[in-house]
Structure 1
């Protein structure tokens, strides 16, 4: 896939799931992005508006830079 151009402060969207396992689009801000890492797509931490972590781990292909 090549190096992704994500950096701290970028807004991203990704698919998440609610308590009933229903998919929905979630968005947040990249706090940390390390490429390459132990995972071929890198490691990412995404936070919401108040700074709470909402995604932590592998930066899979479902994470897109917000438009």
Structure 2
């Protein structure tokens, strides 16, 4: 995020935090595209959490396979 224009001393952004925040936002964007998770069709919290973990593992495996 850019600093305010009224700021007299320019602040240096923490690039590590920015990178981590970007990863988390992209992960939630991916999970929102998974319709079953976004609308929560499951009746119990355990089954919803299980599907959420499966979707996160699918995302992780996709990026893991590209990296290797």
* Bigger RCO (CA 8 Å, 6+ sep): 1
- With normalisation by structure 2, the TM-score equals 0.17
- With normalisation by structure 1, the TM-score equals 0.17
Quick check: which has more Rg, 1 or 2?
Answer: 2
Q: Which has the higher strand share?
A: 1
